[in-house]
Amino acid sequence: LPITSAAQTKQTIETHQGQYMRYSKEHRANTHAKIVTAAATHFREKGIEGVGVASLMQTLGLTHGGFYAHFESKECLTEEALNTAFDQTLKRFKDYASQAIPGHKLRRLVDIYLSNEHRNDPGLGCFAAANASEITRQSEKIRQSVSKRLADFLDLIEDLANQDNINVDSRALLSMMTGGLLLSRIMTDDRHASEFLQATSNAINQLIKY
Amino acid sequence: LPITSAAQTKQTIETHQGQYMRYSKEHRANTHAKIVTAAATHFREKGIEGVGVASLMQTLGLTHGGFYAHFESKECLTEEALNTAFDQTLKRFKDYASQAIPGHKLRRLVDIYLSNEHRNDPGLGCFAAANASEITRQSEKIRQSVSKRLADFLDLIEDLANQDNINVDSRALLSMMTGGLLLSRIMTDDRHASEFLQATSNAINQLIKY
DNA sequence: TGTACATCAGTGAACGCGCGTTCACTGATGTAC
DNA sequence: TGTACATCAGTGAACGCGCGTTCACTGATGTAC
C-alpha cells in the first residue's frame, strides 16, 4: 500500500486570524480518517484487543507516536471506528435491500446478512457480530455507542418491514441474524457453518412470511 | 476463599510397582480440577484473554509457576475449561427443562436461557455466548471443541423438542438464544436489555408453537 | 532408634515480548523583515 | 535578496506493566536399612 507522504499532501493556508498552518486541514483530517477506517476493518477482523496501536499505524506507513496527535486514547479510536463500521455496513445493507421490490426487501437484508460472503469477510461486516462478546466487556461509553448503532439497525429493519408490509419484531430478527452469523463463524468446517446460516435464514423466512 | 494446603491433603500410597508417591493421586487431580473449574467461570466472566495464568492461580492461593505441572499451555487449559463449562451448563439446562411437563420442556429451556439471571451471571452460563466473538478467533483446535459441544447443545434441544412433540430447527433456535442473550448483554440499560430477551423469547414461542 | 535418600506439588525469580502511552525531537514548510 | 524564526504532523526512544512460559529450587513427606 503506497501511502502519500506528509510532504506530498502538505499545503499552506492562512487562517483568518493570521496564524500559520503548514499542513492543510484536509491533510490532518485525511490521516485521521485513514486511521479510523483501517481500525474499523482490523477491529472486525482481529478483535479490538487483537489490534495494537503500533501495528495499526504501521499498516498506514506511520509510526505509533503520531497516534496521540489524533486520538486521546485507544478507546476514543474504538468509538470512532465502531461508528464508521456501522455507517459502512448499515449503508451497504440499506442500499442492497432497497434494490428489492416491496415484499422482498427485508428478506434481502437477511440474505446478505446470513450469506457466506458476510461470514467469510468480517472486516466489512457487522461490527456487533464481529466483536459481540468483546463489546460486552467494554466500557459503558463504548457499549452505549454500540447500543445507539444497534438501535439504528433496528430502525432499518423496521423501515424495511414497513415497506414490505410485514409485521415482525426487529429485536428478535436482529438476535437471530447475529446469533446465526456468530455460530456459523465458530464452526470450523464449511458445511456446518453453512447449515447454521441456512437454518437461521429459513426460520426467519418462516417468521416474516406473514 | 480458604484453600486446603498441599500438606493437608497430602497422603502416601504405594503403587504396585513399588514406587513412592508423596501426594495421593486425588490431591493432584483435585488441584487440577480446581484450576479448570475456576477457569471455566473466570473465562466466561472476563473472557479468555481477560484472565491471566498468574491471576487465575492466585485466585486459588497458588503461584503461577505450578500451572505448568498441570497444563501444557493456556490453550490446553482453555480446552478443558470450555468442556467443564459446557458440562455444567448443559446439565443444569437439561435438569431444569426436564422438570417441566411434556409440551413445555423446550419452552423451559428457552426461559432459563433468555432469563435476566442468565444475562447477569455469565460465569455460570453458556460458554459460547459468553465468548462468542473471541472463540471465532481461537485456534482450530479450540473451535472444534466448541463446535462439538454446540452439537451436544443441539442434541439437547432436539431431544426436548421430541419430548414436546414439537418440530423446530435446533440450529435456528440456538442462534436466536445466543444472539438474544449477547445483544441483551451489550445493552447498558436494563430496560433495553430485557426487551431483547423478551422479544427473542416471544419470537421463539411463536416459532415452536406448533 | 537415627541417618540417608527419594518423591514431587508447589514456589518465585527470570525470560522475551507486546501493550498503551509519553515526550523531546525532526524536518519540511512557511512568514517576517 | 538572505537570515531568523514559527508551525506542527509525524518520529522513535523510553516508560511501566502484564502476558505466557521456563526452570532451579524448596520443603513436607515418605521409605530403606
With an 8 Å Cβ cutoff, are B133 and A137 in contact? Answer: no
Is pLDDT at A79 greater than 60 in this prediction?
A: yes
Is pLDDT at A171 greater than 50 in this prediction?
A: yes
Residue at B67: amino acid letter: F
Cell 439497525 belongs to residue: A153
Find the range with the poorest average confidence among A122-136, B11-25, B184-198: B11-25
Percent of chain B scored above 90 by pLDDT? 85
- Residues B85-111 have pLDDT tens digits of 999 999 999 999 999 999 999 999 999
A93 to chain B, closest Cα gap in Å: 19
Residue at B20: amino acid letter: Y
Q: Which residue has the higher pLDDT, B16 or B169?
A: B169
Q: What is the pLDDT of residue B20?
A: 53
Distance CA B125, CA B112 (A): 10
Protein contacts on strand D: list nucleotides below 7 Å from a Cβ.
6-14, 18-24, 27-32
Q: What is the pLDDT of residue B114?
A: 98
Nucleotide nearest to B50 (CA to C1'): D19
pTM of the full structure: 0.91
With an 8 Å Cβ cutoff, are B182 and A179 in contact? Answer: yes
Distance CA B49, CA A46 (A): 13
Element (H, E) at B86: helix B74-98
Q: What is the pLDDT of residue B121?
A: 98
Q: Coil, strand or helix: which one is B21?
A: strand
- Residues B35-80 have pLDDT tens digits of 999 999 999 999 999 999 999 999 999 999 999 999 999 999 999 9
Is pLDDT at B17 greater than 70 in this prediction?
A: no
* Cβ B56 to strand C below 7 Å: no
Buried b (16+ CB within 10 A) or exposed e, A139-176: eeebbbbbbebbeebbebbbbbbebbebebbbbbbbbb
The residue of A134, A183, A206 whose CB has the most chain B CBs within 10 angstroms, and thus the best one to mutate to test that interface, is A183
Interface of A with B in 143-182 (CB under 8 A): 143-144, 146-147, 150, 169, 171-180, 182
Is pLDDT at B11 greater than 80 in this prediction?
A: no
Q: What is the pLDDT of residue A209?
A: 75
Is pLDDT at A4 greater than 80 in this prediction?
A: no
Q: What is the pLDDT of residue B22?
A: 60
Distance CA A143, CA A197 (A): 26
Rounded to whole angstroms, what are the CA distances from A112 to A105, A181, A201, B52? Answer: 11, 11, 10, 38
Phi-psi region of B18 (alpha: psi -120 to 50; beta: other; left: phi over 0): left
HEC profile of A140-158? HHHHHHHHHHHHHHHHHHH
CA end-to-end distance (rounded Å), chain B? 49
Q: What is the pLDDT of residue B10?
A: 31
Crossing angle of the two packed helices B190-208 and A190-208, in degrees rounded to 10: 90
| Chain A residue numbers touching B199 (CB-CB < 8 A) | 169, 171-172, 175
